[in-house]
Amino acid sequence: MTTMKEIAEQTGVSVSTVSLVLNDRDAGRVKASIAAQVRDTARKLGYRPNPLARSLRTSRTRILAFVSEEIATTPYAGGIILGAQDAASTLGYMLFTVNADGRVDEETEIATLKRYGVDGFMYAKMSNRYANVPSSLGDYPVVLVDATDREGRFPSIEPDEFRIAYDATKRLIDAQCERIAYVGCSELMLAQDGRLEGYRRALEDAGRKFDERLVVNVLNNGPALQAVSDLFDREKPDGVFCFNDARAWYVYECAARRELTIGKDVSVVGVDNHRVFAETFSPQLTTVELPHYEMGYWATCKLVSMIEDRDLSDLQLPHTTAALPPLDAPIPAKIHCTLIEKESVRR
Amino acid sequence: MTTMKEIAEQTGVSVSTVSLVLNDRDAGRVKASIAAQVRDTARKLGYRPNPLARSLRTSRTRILAFVSEEIATTPYAGGIILGAQDAASTLGYMLFTVNADGRVDEETEIATLKRYGVDGFMYAKMSNRYANVPSSLGDYPVVLVDATDREGRFPSIEPDEFRIAYDATKRLIDAQCERIAYVGCSELMLAQDGRLEGYRRALEDAGRKFDERLVVNVLNNGPALQAVSDLFDREKPDGVFCFNDARAWYVYECAARRELTIGKDVSVVGVDNHRVFAETFSPQLTTVELPHYEMGYWATCKLVSMIEDRDLSDLQLPHTTAALPPLDAPIPAKIHCTLIEKESVRR
DNA sequence: GTGAAAGCGCTAACAG
DNA sequence: CTGTTAGCGCTTTCAC
């Protein structure tokens, strides 16, 4: 590891000059020729600043904290973290990923993170819901990921649940489905609210009536299959919008037992949570792809823009979220969803 | 953040004394009464050392790096990382988790990690295979996770693939299955080698003959279902050991189409990769639980023991890996697998 | 036993 | 324009 001191010695200037130049604060303060020399030997020696030493002075570490509760249990958490990591890396930051879920106390973790001098926090839930941000985070820049701050203090990045459901249902309408069911989630959460509303509105916008009997909310378990089965027998749906791919599997199973072909007798759109199912088991499924990677990416950009007071709006997302695919595409296709950014009420 | 200086002033001693005491290096160097006073005010002020400042002097950061390639695509990566994090937290370390898979160059990431002064590296693959550890890691403590160093330079933690297959097959034998098939993985990897060998040996130890026709190796795709279907028609297996739960699904599907009941007409043991499937879709499946969490945990302990030259053998794993469950358990049960630790050939 | 002093690598006032 | 100086919070040698 070469240091500024070495560069200073080699170039025959003082450390301060080197510091000035290498931090690009030499405009009209250091002679251009000297600056050039400094930069030259720096490059020659392969100089890279020591972030720890710098932090000690500036009390800025260029380290971000990603605090999550359900990192282990949720398969797609990886996507969010990956996006966050890529963004951090691109912006010159490092990421401490900690889970507050396990046997380690959340407050302790946050305290440790603070001691390490992180510049800001991402606070993530693993499916869109209201969150209580710990008050210990109050004086730091914070961005919520896949969650909404119940008190409206912090900005957040989350999927547009309403639009997900609206687009998915619209897709089924456009595919000429007459009896469109919704297999939802009986757990109380933001996502479920938005989804149900989007489903209802898409139907109404198409001049149809919302019918409660076509809706069933279930969990991931045995009774769920029975409930979906009942819906099939009672309502004979020809199109189903599913809360996620675990729910889609019940539909898939019910259809198989009735010798109905997915994509022909009954069209299914499912929101893709696990990926396993959509990719491996049911190629006939139309999936709404949740942009987890992008969520992590955007959240990080947002956080950095808050920290540095920098405008990051020119930053291109590596994978752009597209709108609905064209309708002449075959029904098994992917629907991309967009993200929304909620601003903090009081910053 | 209270500093040593403040403690020194409050107690009326010098900073060096405080440092000595608070690092427990005061045996016979500082008067006991003074030491007590120092500790007292430290506690009163809620003193916590600044790890950055300490690192600058000691060039030890108590930060570990977890470098992985497939963090995003593999659902169960979270378990490994969670285990690593919990262990790190318990041992007083932080964890930088980076993926070398994305758009960021692995060498660049490693260089950055080094600049931040990490004390050691975990290098993880997401299913047991040979790995080429980058030479830039050569002079650091390194532990491989779910992989084996091709050159034998570094120790590793990995599942005992042979025993997984042996135990699973034995279980089917004990369940009175006569025609036990193996649905394996056609990708070349360590895990597959060990699994096939364990399957074969369990059969032979039971006095049965290994029969190639009962083995089919597939990928995760359409032709896979066909291949398993052919095996069913041709061999009429009454027991199947599956490489992972994605493969188990093909078996499940084939059975359903032939009106065979899993757990009655045909017993299935699958290694659980995704969890989704086993938990949500097929409660009849006997699963071999891969101890991902434990792998991460152990790897971290191993790494720390290398860094600190500390003996961590007394450290209890939070979830212990059990042996086979008793045979009077109903066939849908969980089989726990053990981990093995490979030592480096030359350290 | 205890404290003064130096220094890890870097930044930022302030002289000159 | 450039160098000197001080100091971020901590550890560590070395006098006293």
Q: What is the pLDDT of residues A287-297, one digit of tens each?
A: 787 888 888 99
Q: What phi and psi values does residue A226 have, to the nearest 5 degrees?
A: -65, -45
The fraction of chain A above a pLDDT of 90, given in percent, is: 47
Query: In what side-by-side order are the strands of the sheet with B334-336?
Result: B215-218, B180-185, B239-242, B267-272, B286-289, B334-336
Q: Which residue of B has its CA nearest to A220?
A: B280
Closest CA to B116 of A20, A83, A53, A113: A53
Supply the DSSP symbol for B136.
G
Cβ neighbors of B148 (< 8 A, separation 6 or more) are B128, B129, B130, B131, B156, B158, B190, B342
User: Is A29 within 7 A of strand C by CB distance?
Assistant: no
Q: What integer is the mean pLDDT of B66-75?
A: 71
Given B52, B86, B89, which is nearest A55 (Cβ)?
Answer: B52
Distance CA(B33)–CA(A120), nearest Å, equals 41
> Which range, A200-209, B2-11, B220-229, B331-340, is most confident?
A200-209
How far in angstroms lies nucleotide D8's C1' from the CA of residue B301?
Answer: 33
Q: Which residue of B has its CA nearest to A117?
A: B52
Distance between the two ends of chain A, CA-based, in angstroms?
Answer: 41
Q: pLDDT tens-digit profile of B247-282?
A: 888 888 888 889 888 878 888 888 877 655 555 555
Given pLDDT bands bounded at 50, 70 and 90, which one contains residue B319? Answer: very low
Contacts of B96 in chain A (CB under 8 A): 94-96
* pLDDT at residue B138 in the model: 92
* Amino acid identity for residue B181 in this structure: A
Q: How far is B203 from chain A (nearest CA, A)?
A: 30
Q: Is residue B46 less than 8 Å (CB to CB) from chain A? A: no
Q: Name the residue among A44, A39, A41 with its Cα closest to residue A21.
A: A39
Confidence at residue A347, expressed as pLDDT on a 0 to 100 scale: 41
Q: Is the pLDDT of residue B324 over 80?
A: no
Residue B9 tokens read as 């002033």
Quote the tokens at residue B275: 């969890």
Largest interatomic CA distance in chain A: 87
- Cα–Cα distance between A265 and A140 in angstroms, integer? 54
User: How far: B54 CA to C3 C1' (Å)?
Assistant: 20
Question: Which domains does chain A possess?
Answer: 4-49 (1.10.260), 63-159+293-335 (3.40.50.2300), 161-290 (3.40.50.2300)
| pLDDT average, residue stretch B98-102 | 77
- Distant-in-sequence, close-in-space partners of B63: CB < 8 Å, separation ≥ 6: B93, B94, B95, B96, B116, B117, B118, B119
pLDDT of residue A208: 97
CA pair distance A167, A248, nearest whole angstrom: 17
Compute the distance between CA of residue A74 and CA of residue B211 in angstroms, rounded to an integer.
Answer: 39
Q: Parallel, antiparallel, or unpaired for β B339-342 and B156-159?
A: antiparallel
Q: Which neighbouring-strand residues pair with A95?
A: A64
Closest C-alpha among A112, A6, A19, A89 to residue B52: A112
Residue B188: CB atoms within 10 A of its CB come to 10
Backbone angle region of A176, left / alpha / beta, with phi > 0 → left and psi within -120 to 50 → alpha: left
Can you count the helices (H) and strands (E) in chain A?
12, 12
CA distance readout (Å), B173 to B9, B260, B262:
74, 19, 16
What pLDDT is recorded for position B321? 47
Q: Which range (A98-102, A150-154, A311-315, B251-255) has the least confidence?
A: A311-315
Probe site for chain B from A70, A109, A280 (most B CB atoms < 10 A):
A280
Q: Is B53 helix (H, G, I), strand (E, B) or coil?
A: helix
Find the residue closest to C11 using CA and C1' atoms: A57
pLDDT at B224: 87
pLDDT value of position B279: 55
**Among A87-96, A180-189, A254-263, which is the least confidently predicted range?**
A254-263
Averaged pLDDT, A161-180: 90
* From A164-173, A314-323, B95-104, B124-133, the region with the lowest mean pLDDT: A314-323
Q: Distance between CA A304 and CA A95 in Å, rounded?
A: 12
Percent of chain B with pLDDT over 70: 85
pLDDT band at residue B347 under the 50/70/90 scheme: very low
Query: What pTM was computed for the model?
Result: 0.89
Q: Measure the CA–CA gap between A35 and A189, rounded to whole angstroms.
A: 57
Residue that the structure tokens 């979270």 belong to? B78
Answer yes or no: is pLDDT of B317 > 90. Answer: no
pLDDT value for A321: 44
Give the residue from A186, A209, A78, A83 showing the smallest Cα distance to A143: A83
pLDDT of A185 strictly over 70: yes
Whether B150 sits with its Cβ under 7 A from any strand C atom: the answer reads: no
Q: Are A243 and A184 in contact (CB under 8 A)?
A: yes
Mean pLDDT of the B28-52 span:
92
For strand C, the positions having any atom within 7 A of a protein Cβ are 1-5, 7-13
For strand C, list residues 34-93 of chain B whose Cβ lies within 7 Å of it: 34-35, 53, 56-57
- Of residues A65 and B292, which shows the higher confidence score? A65
Is the model more confident about A315 or about B84? B84
Distance, in Å, from the CA atom of B285 to the CA atom of B292, rounded to the nearest integer, reads 20
Q: Is B209 on the interface with A (CB under 8 A)?
A: no
Q: pLDDT at position B187, please?
A: 82
Mean pLDDT value across chain B: 85
Of B103, B160, B228, the residue nearest A293 (C-alpha): B103
H-helix segments, B149-189: 161-174
* pLDDT interval class at B122 (50, 70, 90): very high
Give the tens place of pLDDT for each residue, A314-327: 766 654 444 445 54
Mean pLDDT is lowest, of A167-171, A180-184, B119-123, for A167-171
- Three-state SS across B241-302? EECCHHHHHHHHHHHHHCCCCECCCEEEEEEECCCHHHHHHCCCCEEEECCHHHHHHHHHHH
For residue B334, pLDDT beyond 70: no
In the predicted structure, residue B75 carries a pLDDT above the cut 80: no
B207 has a pLDDT exceeding 90: yes
Looking at residue B257, what is its pLDDT?
83
Q: Straight-line distance from CA A14 to C1' C15, in Å?
A: 15
Q: Which of A117-121, B6-10, B225-229, B329-333 has the lowest mean pLDDT?
A: B329-333
Summary mean pLDDT of chain A:
85
Query: Does residue A48 sit at the B interface (CB-CB below 8 Å)?
Result: yes
Q: Which nucleotides of D are covered by protein (CB under 7 A)?
A: 1-5, 7-13
- Say if residue A102's pLDDT is above 90: no
**Token reading at B54:** 């300490």
Predicted local confidence at residue A336, as pLDDT: 66
Q: Bigger pLDDT: B189 or A147?
A: A147
pLDDT (0 to 100) of residue A221: 73
Lowest mean pLDDT among A69-83, A246-260, B13-27: A69-83
pLDDT of A64 above 60: yes
